[in-house]
Amino acid sequence: MTPDEAKRILADADLIHSAAEVTGAIDRLATEITTHLEGAHPLVLTVMGGGIIFAGQLLPCLPFPLEHDYVHVTRYGASTAGGELTWVVEPRTAVVGRVVLVLDDILDEGITLAAIKARLMAQGARECLVAVLAEKELGRAKPIRPDFVGLRLPNRYVFGCGMDVDGAWRNLPAIYALAGR
């Protein structure tokens, strides 16, 4: 995608959640997560690449000791439709006996996050919690329910705050939906 194409997509997009709404949701999540995990010394795993923006905003708001690592699991690649699950990077930190908190940008269909949680539990995590900046409301059951949700999204193709459209606009501070989708 060219820079001009990306600019046209943003110009035509619908604002779903403003930057202020995103910041408010992250502050609320930090409070909820702190209440639940402040004495647990958790291992926090960020799901790359979309989860990096969310993690970068959330982690400084957590006032307790934690360890951080990441996983890279994808079903999308450069596509806008999910495909086969690919494990690019597993956590380097052992999860055996640990309380693990997985951070991701969005819970869409839930297939990727369900697979991550199942794998971490199979590797011996004592508990695996999931926090997402946003959950898309699909109107049907998903294979996983997040423990912490910042914002609800309509069933549209969204971007910003870690979510991309053809590789662009992960860096936006607000969440948008493609026009007509």
| In the block, residue with structure tokens 């819970």 | 107
Tell me if residue 68 falls in helix, strand or coil. Answer: strand
108 is catalytic: yes
The Cα 150–Cα 25 span in angstroms is 5
CB atoms within 10 A of CB 177: 20
The angle that helices 19-37 and 51-58 make with each other, rounded to 10 degrees, is 70
R_g of the chain, CA atoms, integer Å = 16
Which residue among the candidates 104, 108, 164, 166 is catalytic per the annotation?
108
Write the DSSP string, 100-160.
EEEEEEEESSSHHHHHHHHHHHHTT-SEEEEEEEEEE--SS--S---SEEEEEE-SS-EEB
Do residues 75 and 111 touch, judged by C-beta distance below 8 A? yes
User: Can you tell me the distance from the alpha carbon of 21 to that of 24, in angstroms, rounded to the nearest whole number?
Assistant: 5
Catalytic residues: 108
